Amino acid sequence: MVCRGIWNVHFRGKWYRSYYPHGRISPPDDESTFRMIKQLCDHPDHLEKWELVPFLSPIHSNLDYVYIIDQDAGVFLVSLWKELNGSLRPTAIRIDLTSLRESSRLFIKDSLEQHRSTSSDNIHQTNSDIRKPMTFRALDINFGIPTPLNELQERFLTDFVFVWRYYIDDPLTWTYSSPVFKVLSIAFLRLAAWDLELSSDCEVELPINFASIPSWNYPETNIYWFHGFLIILQEDIESEAMINRALEKAKPYIHDLHGHRDARLVLISPYHVTFVELSNDAVLVSESIALLTNHSAVHCSPGFRALNRIFTSDCWKKSLSDRERWRLNVPSEILYKILHELEPRDTVAFSQASFTATQYYYTSIPQIKDTVVQSFNSSIPCCGKQRGSGDNGVRCLVCYSWRHVACIGAENWSSDAQYVCMDCQGNMNFSAPHPGGINRVSCRKTREGCHISVGGSEKLLHLRLSKPSHLRRELRFLGNLVPIAPSLIEYTIRFNGSFSGLAYGLENKP
């Protein structure tokens, strides 16, 4: 049987990797694997033929093993799939490099077997210690009814998690200390703020496979300003002690900018998001909202829903109108025209030029001309329509989806009462994902398209996982036998010019 995998080396703070086409590799207990380890230990700087990469490559469902020689930490790790309760989960086995060098290949075999017979499992660390209730004042944001833009964002974020799920599913890459957390966090934020370019250039690296790397720019620090909010990345944001730690970190940034304490903070940990409002006399803290769960590649998570709303609406923005210095009085039709005629990157820049421009930017669907979102199945799942049953609705306390009171038969709903939707009363689970959990839940599900109309004709906006059919050599022969859909790509999403992994095509509605 063919064994597939990839080699990673960590040496003097840098990551290198090597793999053969199709990922062929020797099994861990093979003599050549052992020779390779020995060779790399004896000549740790002989890495000329290796690819310099920003971080290690995670295990993928097409791979059997990922070998990691961490020279800096003095360990050899074998990342593999382990069966637990009927499902496969990524697991890493650590072997001390010094003892490995002094032994034979059988040492690796023994280590693997020893691990297989133990019941230990590296489930993501969830902080299950009993949390004291917070003494901060509660921040309750009224997110309001989702917009057409929010519906598309929910699809994009869900698709994005699906495309890059191997990085989140592997505990070796999805940790606070890994740059992967930073690179994906900025992507979540950019999607939530529609700070992206929709390009018609479909020459992109697809499919996203075991060798793909999320390669857009990201802030190197764990604290930065983004669209007027102070973003703080932290390992945990669920306890009062951790919120206090974030407040300490925020202090210099806030004083520097305004000279007084007044800011909106977005705290992001690998699994949660929390909003903090600072003013001179109070600290208001929201609940910690689930950002990533086992279902995040299938249903939009409550954390993403909240992020979309805070960036694209006024529900929690400080009123910037008093700071508006843009005295141009441009009629709205002209503003919309400008926003739709600009190049993608200029559109984003223009939207940040003034408070008025930002407002207009988020009331349309920037960069997709003449587009109307037809169904709101993700953000308004009661009837899938934004209007029609009135604007009076409730937000589910757990999943943050929005429903018309008329649709759920609760016209006399009191605004103080808390609503939990039927899905969440059932078995929807928003606890932190298990290793491999996102892939397990999403890999066999067909990805739903989003109903939109473009220039008056009804279409389905579909995620593309591979290149258009005419560019796929493997389909050339098959194409003579059976009809093959062209699967063209109309839009690719980019962050400052770099491909995000998201490509979409328009299909006629069946």
Q: Where do contacts with Zn ion occur on this chain (CB under 5 A)?
A: 382-383, 389, 396, 398-399, 404, 407, 421, 424
The residues pairing with 275 across neighbouring beta strands, listed in sequence order, are: 266
CB atoms within 10 A of CB 134: 16
- Cα–Cα distance measured from residue 67 to residue 3, given in angstroms and rounded to the nearest whole number: 13
Nearest distance in Å: CB 406, Zn ion: 7
- Cα–Cα distance measured from residue 332 to residue 337, given in angstroms and rounded to the nearest whole number: 8
Nearest distance in Å: CB 165, Zn ion: 22
| Token pair listed for 160 | 């994005």
Antiparallel, parallel or unpaired: β 229-233 and 263-268: parallel
Antiparallel, parallel or unpaired: β 450-454 and 371-373: antiparallel
Strands (E), 350-389: 371-373
CA angle, corner 431, sides to 158 and 169, nearest 5? 55
Which residue's CB is nearer to Zn ion, number 299 or number 464?
299
Nearest distance in Å: CB 403, Zn ion: 6
One DSSP character per residue, 434-448 reads PTTHHHHHHTTSPPP
- Cα–Cα distance measured from residue 237 to residue 235, given in angstroms and rounded to the nearest whole number: 7
Torsion of the alpha carbons at 298, 303, 309 and 315, rounded to the nearest 10: 150
The residues pairing with 272 across neighbouring beta strands, listed in sequence order, are: 290
Which residue's CB is nearer to Zn ion, number 382 or number 441?
382
The residues pairing with 458 across neighbouring beta strands, listed in sequence order, are: 453
Which residue's CB is nearer to Zn ion, number 97 or number 399?
399
Which residue's CB is nearer to Zn ion, number 222 or number 389?
389
Which residue's CB is nearer to Zn ion, number 399 or number 452?
399
Nearest distance in Å: CB 423, Zn ion: 5
Nearest distance in Å: CB 257, Zn ion: 37
Nearest distance in Å: CB 394, Zn ion: 10
Amino acid identity of 126?
Answer: T
- Cα–Cα distance measured from residue 283 to residue 433, given in angstroms and rounded to the nearest whole number: 30
Which residue's CB is nearer to Zn ion, number 421 or number 503?
421
Selection from 504, 491, 401 nearest residue 462 by Cα? 504
Which residue's CB is nearer to Zn ion, number 332 or number 431?
431
Nearest distance in Å: CB 143, Zn ion: 13
25 torsion bin: left (phi>0), alpha (psi -120 to 50), beta (else): beta
Which residue's CB is nearer to Zn ion, number 399 or number 503?
399
Nearest distance in Å: CB 57, Zn ion: 35
